[in-house]
Structure 1
Amino acid sequence: MTTPLIIDTDPGVDDAFALALAAASPEVELIGVTTVFGNVPLADTTANALRLRALLRREDVPVAAGADRPLVHPQPKLSSAHGSDGLSGARGTLPEPTRATDPRDAVTLMRELLEAADQPVTIVPIGPLTNVALLLAAHPRLKEKIGRLVVMGGGVNGGNITAAAEFNVWSDPEAARRVLVDEDVPTTLVPIDVTHRCAVSAEWLAELGRTSATAGALVGLTADYLATYRRILDLDGIVVHDAIAVAEAIRPGLLAAKPYALEVDCSHGPGRGGLVVDRRLQAPGPENLRIATDTDFDGLRAFLFERLSSLGGA
């Protein structure tokens, strides 16, 4: 039986790989995509999602736009890692959409998809958590329809947008705290401590790009992202953060995870958006929240390549 899947996203180069991975995986049924501000403004994340949907030939999947700002405080800045349009300036290389944005907003779409589902739905938030926080706040009765959340975000040992904070959580710490700390939905958090260990090389990308026109179009979105990682980490490759979370949604247990107690720093000091993770043995974490800590990274890279290379022609 396939698992119904909703991806909440702010595309983003790694988001593009995540969406492609979901489209290529028979274990899940992608039933909806919702967009949120993040790497670029909402208008761009939504336009990117529509183009990616067209590339992946999944125009059957509704795409609904969501929050264009955080719950409380403005996002100080956008990420420059993904280029001017979020896709290394290459959005125009993707097919024109043949279906418009869904008239429903993101929260309404998620609500209606959950209400209609006859089995638990997995939601994979791979951008700021604003849409998901709003869903859980407005419709708490629907929590029982959510099988689990697989959240890409946070850093246990530091951040990537500040010394303390990872970009997604830092973009809306109040929303992240609502989802990760205050709620009781079964959740797996996939932090950058794990995703950074599954970087893929420029050579890996080039090989993937040769497998099909669709894969080649995906790899064609990576130029600015590659340049960023070369500049900031001296890495000749990229980190496909969001695809790692989708991989865990496709194959539950692919990532080893532990139940740590967690807080999100919502102060306005240098730690804002950072995670405070209590890893002491005498401080057991909540039953619903597990934090990914490890995996077979070579095996995970092989899984990503196998699925993404199966996308076929564009």
Structure 2
Amino acid sequence: MTIPLILDTDPGVDDAFALALAVASPEVSLVGVTTVFGNVSLGSTTANALRLLALLGREDVPVAAGAARPLVHPQARLSSAHGSDGLSGFAHTLPEPTREVDPRDAVTLMRDVLVAADRPVTIAAVGPLTNVALLLAAHPSLRSRIGRIVVMGGGLDGGNITPAAEFNLWCDPEAARRVLVEEDVPVTVVPMDLTGRCAVSAQWLTALAETSEVGAKLVGLTPDYLATYRRFLGWDGMVLHDAVAVAEAVRPGILKSTRFPVDVECSFGPARGALVVDRRLESREHLGVDIALETHVEGLREFVFDRLGALGQAD
């Protein structure tokens, strides 16, 4: 029995790989894509999502636009890693979508999916958590219909947008705190500490491009992102943060998690947006969130490659 999945996303190069992985995974049924500001503006993230679904042959999946800004304070800046359009300047190489954005907003689409589902729904949230925070605030009675929220975000040992904060949580710390701290809903956090260890090489990307036209198109979106990560990693590769989180959403347990109490720093000091994890003692209570700390790295890379490599190939 497949798991209904909503992907809340801000495409984004690694988001593109994450969306493709969701489409390629028979364990889940992708029932909706909701977009949020983040790597680029909401208009660009929404357009990118529509184009990516056209590439993947899944224009039946509704795409609803969500929050264009954080809950409280304006976003300080966009990411520079993904290029001007979010896809290294190559969004135009994707097919023109034939389906328009859904007339519903993201929260309404999420609500409708949760109400209609005959089993708990997984939400994979791989951008700023604004849409998810709004959903939980507006429709608290639907918490029980959420099987799990898998969040790509946070860093236990520092950040990537500031010394303390990872980009997704930094974009909207107040929303992140609502989802991770204030709500009683099952959450698995996939932090950049783990996703960074799962980085893929340029050779991995070259091999993926040779599997199919879809693989080649995905790899064709990576130049700006790859250039950024060459500097960070010190070798020729890049980090598929969001695809690692979606791997856990579609195959629970592929990442090994431990439950800890957490908080999110919402002050305007240098630690704004930081994920604060109390690692002194694992949480034995219902409080806290599951934090993915370990995986079989080569197995994870192989899993993602095999799924993405099968896209677009003849049956």
TM tier, smaller: over 0.9
Return the letter of the residue paired with 1:189: V
Cα deviation code 1:63-98 (max 9, x no counterpart): 000000000001100000000100000000000001
Tell me, yes or no, if the aligned pair for 2:36 and 2:128 is still in contact at 8 Å: yes
Which residue of the partner structure matches residue 153 of structure 2?
153
Which residue of the partner structure matches residue 79 of structure 1?
79
Which residue of the partner structure matches residue 221 of structure 1?
221
Return the letter of the residue paired with 1:89: G
> Secondary structure, in 3 states, of the residue corresponding to 2:154?
coil
Where does 1:87-98 land on structure 2 (aligned, <5 Å)? 87-98=87-98
Tell me, yes or no, if the aligned pair for 1:261 and 1:284 is still in contact at 8 Å: no
Q: How many residues align?
A: 314
Cα deviation code 1:13-56 (max 9, x no counterpart): 00000000010010000000000000000000000000001000
Cα distance in 1 between the residues matched to 2:282 and 2:143: 29
Where does 1:100-139 land on structure 2 (aligned, <5 Å)? 100-139=100-139
Tell me, yes or no, if the aligned pair for 1:155 and 1:275 is still in contact at 8 Å: yes
> Secondary structure, in 3 states, of the residue corresponding to 2:127?
coil
After TM superposition, the score normalised by the length of structure 2 is: 0.98
Tell me, yes or no, if the aligned pair for 2:181 and 2:288 is still in contact at 8 Å: no
Tell me, yes or no, if the aligned pair for 1:184 and 1:288 is still in contact at 8 Å: no
Instruction: Compute the displacement of 1:285 (Å).
Output: 6.2
Cα distance in 2 between the residues matched to 1:231 and 1:54: 32
CA pair 31-282 structure 1, distance change in 2 beyond 3 A: closer
Which residue of the partner structure matches residue 296 of structure 1?
296
Which residue of the partner structure matches residue 15 of structure 1?
15
CA pair 51-173 structure 1, distance change in 2 beyond 3 A: same
Tell me, yes or no, if the aligned pair for 1:198 and 1:301 is still in contact at 8 Å: yes
Cα distance in 2 between the residues matched to 1:176 and 1:284: 22
Q: Which runs of 5+ in 1 are unaligned?
A: none
Cα distance in 2 between the residues matched to 1:223 and 1:78: 18
Tell me, yes or no, if the aligned pair for 1:6 and 1:124 is still in contact at 8 Å: yes
Q: In the alignment, is residue 259 of structure 1 matched against residue 247 of structure 2?
A: no
Q: Which runs of 5+ in 2 are unaligned?
A: none
Which residue of the partner structure matches residue 63 of structure 1?
63
Tell me, yes or no, if the aligned pair for 1:186 and 1:288 is still in contact at 8 Å: no
Tell me, yes or no, if the aligned pair for 2:12 and 2:86 is still in contact at 8 Å: yes
After TM superposition, the score normalised by the length of structure 1 is: 0.98
Please list every run of at least 4 consecutive aligned residues from structure 1 whose deviation after the TM superposition is greater than 3 angstroms. Answer: 282-288
Cα distance in 1 between the residues matched to 2:70 and 2:83: 21
Instruction: Compute the displacement of 1:235 (Å).
Output: 2.8
CA pair 262-220 structure 1, distance change in 2 beyond 3 A: same
Cα RMSD for the two superposed structures: 1.2
Instruction: Compute the displacement of 1:232 (Å).
Output: 3.0
Instruction: Compute the displacement of 1:288 (Å).
Output: 5.6
Return the letter of the residue paired with 2:212: S
